[in-house]
Structure 1
């Protein structure tokens, strides 16, 4: 069996290692340059590879192809593979067939990293032998090759779900759905929604789907489509016979006839959206039969995720917050919604088809100045030019932070929440967040 891996990054190299271990004839091909550290791993494992090209004669003879999530379906080599009827799958699909471990799959437009990390924290604190993978950390395939975990918490992007055929998580979570990555879905929101719901397509009556019952796109889909999984909803406004809800400032979870309660103010993560992330993670902990005391302790000591509403420093009574991971409008909505003081908002980058109207009321209420940090800021200026008193354009992070410091007064907040991808001025959102933190520390 010939396995061709497209993309020599974390998921690609991990898949190559697992494929080789399972007796496949493996070849890795990357149209860009493969990082030196990954090349060393491939050479050490005697795996054939090429970079900066795709040699068709070495790819189109595959029995199965694992495509890295970053490569679009529209890529010429992928189109040719599909035309030839060669299965093109994701790392998750490939690796899942070689493990008996229980998997918890988490997807959503926002909140999935926090929910994944919090769920992992809950299970690990309870002493479970659990791995963390998917869109985060070390490759799932490589961890399956090492075979040391009984269960995995997997953060799954829509791109990873597009490449599944038989994979099913025992527990699936959909945190929420809002327009994102529409450039990859022919600008059709319904295609993106369907993509997210692939997480439950192979689930059976033995499995669970945990979801946000306040989310319109999720509720609509569930009304029109069927899943065989047992449903566990969570909500800030509704109550359920089975599910998680809020009553008198208390989070109540009723799952499989068992009840768990916790005061919302004891939960370490702040903001309504984080309360939802906590509800989703609590549902998993209850299904995995973790003790109530452990759940309470884990929810009250969890520190959050880097680049997601991360408090950096307070300087002259001005709080600087790094929310670089907010790469779409919905994520920035949550960030602005949780601001309690006049805010200087740093925004901009590569627009993925954003509609800024959703933010209008929050910007009017909370934002005193906007700093545009992008190559093309036209849309942001058109949207908010008449709404805020101060609108500034900069093209590097140091200028953005210095300008913010000039504009602020005591008691204000400076929020980096770009609502856009980062590739115009930065390597990725992590690089953008780190540059922000460095600039703040240098003030």
Structure 2
């Protein structure tokens, strides 16, 4: 669709938050008839009240199936609402298209899109690409999970822009024609299975980043990940593999501690300041996507020599009395915490725990060899205690909150130690977001006094 084709359409926006509000406002501006349905009661729902004042129909407090009887053209669903929700399930049964707002964003924008997905590393890679594309011929705009809602950015973007878009499996599952100019698929690891049900369904959702691409578009993918490589095999896009383990044709690889792209040297590993071996994968992916979109090698080199990381992702907080504190609150699954732990060789005080999604943590054992103290919190603290005990961690302390965890971490540490918040779990048992959890950690660290 173009912007004009939304005029007169009958649309239900299901669920507000930032993405729902942005989609509703955009569709209303484009001339669609918009009905908003949000679970939060009307009296407590300032978002819904403001949208109603703009002329939209608002139904709050429940999701009546009768909303589907109004000859809807499509539904824009908040990504967090699961597909087994009765109104979503019924809409699909009736053949009503159910999309997320990134589908809307891609349909209306004049800008080309670089879409980044994967179980881990999305935010770091998205930020790297954004920085690498600065000062190029087309100004980059960042959107999606990392920044402004995609459809807000898409409406304002011109053909002189490139939208660098971090996309989740939740968002991708609600796409029908979404086809970025460049897709980046970083890795696949068991995550969000409480939402998707099975690993296969989760993989299928992630794969939607490339299913509609053609030979005029590109897929930058991790050739070291079997599942990602299997997705690439059926993609119709131009394939740009990257690997930290082997030389790949027409792709990115490391040889003699130098990164190459299709035989051309880009930068030596010793010049890259971003910590962690796992970040080399993110760097390779970012270089590939950026070069395709016209970034200059000099700008890429500058970014890699100065970029130290993003907030809540192995973020260096401070050094205090010889202890170095790192905030990795965005590590919401086991693989993310494994990679964070592998970034350090020093004795480590690990702060971990959070929402219990039903998984065990045995895969974390091998990464705990240099953890001298584990401080656990949240719903998963007993599970983490079991795994750490089996891994030989000598000191394991359960706590109730972040402030207590940070204080104990300092007491248990010595000069030269790393204090690492890397929860391996989502935050929703105690905090609204991983950002809130990370902020509490940083504030607690800043409040320590020697």
Give the deviation of 1:97 after TM superposition: 1.3
1:243 aligns with 2:247: no
Give the deviation of 1:226 after TM superposition: 1.3
1:359 aligns with 2:368: no
For residue 348 of structure 1, what is the aligned residue in structure 2?
353
Mapped to 2, the partners of 1:144 and 1:226 lie a distance apart of 28
For residue 56 of structure 1, what is the aligned residue in structure 2?
65
> For structure 1, which runs of at least 5 residues remain unmatched after alignment?
none
User: Once the two structures are superposed, what CA deviation does each residue of 1:390-416 show, in whole Å capped at 9, x if it has no partner?
Assistant: 111111111111111111111111111
Out of 46, 53, 67, the position equivalent to 2:77 is: 67
For residue 337 of structure 1, what is the aligned residue in structure 2?
342
1:5 aligns with 2:39: no
SS at match of 1:385: helix
SS at match of 2:147: coil
Out of 146, 151, 157, the position equivalent to 1:136 is: 146
SS at match of 1:159: helix
Give the deviation of 1:189 after TM superposition: 1.3
Return 171-180 or 264-273, whichever deviates more. 264-273
| Alignment CA distance shift 1:204-1:190 (3 Å) | same
Mapped to 2, the partners of 1:52 and 1:36 lie a distance apart of 9
Return 30-39 or 127-136, whichever deviates more. 30-39
Give the deviation of 1:43 after TM superposition: 5.0
1:84 aligns with 2:112: no
Mapped to 2, the partners of 1:221 and 1:230 lie a distance apart of 13
Give the deviation of 1:262 after TM superposition: 0.6
Give the deviation of 1:144 after TM superposition: 2.5
Mapped to 2, the partners of 1:41 and 1:210 lie a distance apart of 41
Mapped to 2, the partners of 1:167 and 1:427 lie a distance apart of 29
Return 5-14 or 380-389, whichever deviates more. 380-389
Contact 1:21 1:145 in 2 (8 A): no
Contact 2:64 2:87 in 1 (8 A): no
Out of 188, 198, 201, the position equivalent to 1:191 is: 201
Contact 2:130 2:140 in 1 (8 A): yes
Give the deviation of 1:76 after TM superposition: 1.4
Out of 38, 47, 50, the position equivalent to 2:56 is: 47
Mapped to 2, the partners of 1:39 and 1:118 lie a distance apart of 36
For residue 305 of structure 2, what is the aligned residue in structure 1?
300
Mapped to 2, the partners of 1:129 and 1:41 lie a distance apart of 33
1:206 aligns with 2:204: no
RMSD over aligned CA atoms reads 1.9
User: Once the two structures are superposed, what CA deviation does each residue of 1:252-306 show, in whole Å capped at 9, x if it has no partner?
Assistant: 112xxx8342111212312121111111111112112222212211222224210
Out of 250, 269, 276, the position equivalent to 1:271 is: 276
TM-score, with length taken from structure 1: 0.94
TM-score, with length taken from structure 2: 0.92
Give the deviation of 1:173 after TM superposition: 0.4
| Alignment CA distance shift 1:47-1:143 (3 Å) | farther
For residue 318 of structure 2, what is the aligned residue in structure 1?
313
Out of 185, 188, 204, the position equivalent to 1:174 is: 185
> For structure 2, which runs of at least 5 residues remain unmatched after alignment?
1-8
1:377 aligns with 2:396: no
Contact 2:314 2:328 in 1 (8 A): yes
1:97 aligns with 2:107: yes
1:218 aligns with 2:228: yes
Contact 2:186 2:285 in 1 (8 A): yes
1:32 aligns with 2:40: yes
Mapped to 2, the partners of 1:129 and 1:413 lie a distance apart of 38
